[in-house]
Amino acid sequence: MTRFLALFRITSICLLSFTIIGCANLSPKSARIIQTTPFGSEMKLQFEETTYGGPCLPLPIPYRYTSTNWIYVARTQGEVDANDITISYARYGSHSFNPIYNIEGHVRFEPGFVTVNLAFPIYVVDHRFPFWRNGKYPLVTD
Whole-number pLDDT of residue 105: 92
| pLDDT tens per residue across span 126-138 | 667 777 778 888 8
Residue 15 in this model has a pLDDT that exceeds 60: no
Residue 18 in this model has a pLDDT that exceeds 70: no
Q: Give the separation between CA 125 and CA 135, rounded to whole angstroms.
A: 25
| pLDDT tens per residue across span 33-58 | 888 888 889 999 888 877 766 666 55
Domain ranges of the chain: 2-140
The chain-wide mean pLDDT, for the chain, equals: 78
| pLDDT tens per residue across span 67-119 | 888 899 999 999 999 999 988 888 888 877 888 878 889 999 999 999 999 98
Whole-number pLDDT of residue 100: 82
CA atoms within 13 A on the CB side of 52: 8
Whole-number pLDDT of residue 121: 72
The answer to pTM > 0.75 is no
